[in-house]
Homo-oligomer: A and B are copies of this chain.
Amino acid sequence: MDDGRILATYRVASYLPLDHAAAVLAGEQSSGTFTKVALESDDLMRVHGARVESIEKNETPIDPLPGAVSAGAGAPPSVATVAVSFPVVNLGPSIAALLATVAGNLYELRELAAVKLLDVEIPDALAARYTGPLHGVGGTRRLIGNPSQTMIGTIVKPSIGLTLDQLEALVRELAEAQIDFIKDDELNSDPPHAPLTDRIRVVMRTIRDVADRTGKQTMYAFNVTGDMDDMKRAADLIAVEGGTCVMAAIPSVGFSAFAELRRHTDLALHGHRAGFGAFDRSPSLGIGFRAFQRLARVAGADHLHVGGINSKFWEPNDAIVDGVRAIQEDRSVGAPMLPVLSSAQTAATAASTYELLPTPDLLVLAGGGIHAHPGGVAAGVQSMREAWHAVASGHDPRMIATPGSALDVALDAFGS
């Protein structure tokens, strides 16, 4: 749909008839208030009113939200997937205005016992205002020297507390092991013991030094999550120092700040999703990943975290697979975004991940899977590389691992 309307899809539950509940949602988010007002003409409603496009009832039970008005009979609420369209002309258009429309006061409606934004189509008028991802999958590959395989990365661990000297030694070892990508932990922004500006200088000097000798361009995503001006200044310094990537936690900074960072810099933008669980983990409330990834893409994320297969987090594997598919299928604006798998990834998880996601267009991050390798981080990197090379070639890593090799040790250490 883009006949001048924005289509948003919700999971809705209500104790009231579903068509009534959906109409309340549409009214609240367009021209309505709780009572008919003076200037609310039929013409105005026709041009600016939201419209319920479809209601598909389903039988999945859900936990109802508090405060929902009940018909009193004691029956559970009805559940449905409801599509609502909003006139594009109601909006700015901006991501923030879109959010206020499709994810605003509607969460508060007493007529609804569940309301979760599952997906939202980005209208052309909105997409035209943003570049979207500048680098995406292909651009990221080019920036790290065109590896043909799955891209392998890590998170600096421990998350916080490393001195600049420790960080330098760690980055050197990782870069010399020819890792594709390193990122700060999302908790590590600009602490006094390792200020971001110092971190940028030390890390980039190290990466340049290794690259001069080996030719390998490791991408380092500096976590700039913070205030707007500080993020911009950090991005500028990263560019000056020859860096290629900047990272921010999108839920922490918000979409407007993230989009502004995109406008300000042409570095690759690594979109962390720390805090997204607050939106997504309840089936009854919030914003689902398909909607989130669309907004992240429009805001300009080149990379987006999507969880991990068999991770330490709550999401089942089919949700992760669906998230990666959502990213892969979306061609709305800019370059194809690169899905980032993270959390409890090791050489031992490559096979199960590749089985569900048989594509090289992934960035797989192993934190403990590299830093806790018994042979050290270089062996950790090697084990990940070998495991992913094996699975992409159709082999079971356990079958081809040379006894005593980095891969073999990793499979022993991390395999279940």
Contacts and interface: CB of A to CB of B under 8 A. Distances in A.
B249 A96 contact: yes
Contacts of A230: 92, 94
A106 B274 CA distance: 8
A229 B263 contact: yes
A281 interface: yes
A218 interface: no
A416 interface: no
Nearest to A226: B94
Residue of A66, A258, A283, A344 most packed against chain B (CB within 10 A): A66
Q: Main secondary structure on chain A at its contact with chain B? A: loop
A314 B67 contact: yes
A81 interface: no
Contact of A315 (B67, B129, B307): B67
Interface string A275-296: 1111101111111000000000
B33 A157 contact: yes
A193 interface: yes
Given A66-B283, A89-B191, A160-B30, A108 B315 contact: yes
A108 B252 contact: no
Contacts of A354: none
Contacts of A303: none
Contacts of A158: 31-33, 37, 39-40, 44, 48
Contacts of A29: 187
A368 B229 CA distance: 40
Contact of A95 (B34, B94, B227, B255): B227
Interface residues of A, number: 106
Interface string A375-387: 0110000000000
Copies in the complex: 2
A189 to B, nearest CB: 4
Given A186-B100, A254-B256, A191 B92 contact: yes
Given A92-B189, A170-B39, A316-B67, A33 B159 contact: yes
Contacts of A44: 158, 161-162
Given A90-B191, A368-B34, A314 B96 contact: no
Contacts of A193: 89
Contacts of A92: 189-191, 196, 225-226, 230
A148 interface: no
Interface string A57-84: 0000001011110000000000000000
A393 interface: no
A257 B68 CA distance: 33
B253 A228 contact: no
Contact of A189 (B100, B196, B249): B100
A104 B276 CA distance: 7
A284 B254 CA distance: 23
9 contacts: A30-B159, A37-B158, A92-B190, A97-B225, A97-B226, A100-B274, A129-B227, A227-B260, A253-B257
> 8 closest pairs, A vs B, by CB?
A254-B254, A107-B277, A67-B314, A104-B274, A256-B257, A108-B313, A228-B260, A63-B63
